Amino acid sequence: MNRLTEKLIHRLEDKGLSIIAIPRFLKDVAGAISIKHPIGLQEMNRRLDLLGWGPVEVDYHTLQLIIASLENGGLSTIEEDR
C-alpha cells in the first residue's frame, strides 16, 4: 500500500468510516466528481448526504487526497490492499 493510500485510509477512518465502507464511499465521491468537476466542498457534502453518508463530511485536504488517489488508480489499489 502506498503512502497516499495509507494517508487517505487513516483520514477516512478518523472521519468515522470503517475500512469496509471506504471503497463504496470513494465510488460515491468519484461519481459526484464525474458529474461536475471541479466540485465545491459544500456541493460534495450535500451529494454525499443525499447518498446516506450524512455524518461524514469531506474537507478540502481529504477531497484532494481522494482525487489524487483516484487519479492513481486508487479504488483498485485500496480494494487489493484490504
Residue 75: what pLDDT? Answer: 60
pLDDT in tens, 47-77: 999 999 988 999 999 999 998 888 887 666 5
Residue with cell 478518523: 14
Rounded distance between C-alpha atoms, residue 50 and residue 81, angstroms: 29
Helix or strand run (H / E) with residue 14: helix 3-14
Rounded distance between C-alpha atoms, residue 30 and residue 7, angstroms: 18
Burial of 30 (0-12, 13-18, 19+ CB in 10 A): middle
Domain boundaries of the chain, sorted by first residue: 3-81
pTM of the model: 0.82
- Which DSSP letter does residue 57 get? -
Residue 60: what pLDDT? Answer: 92
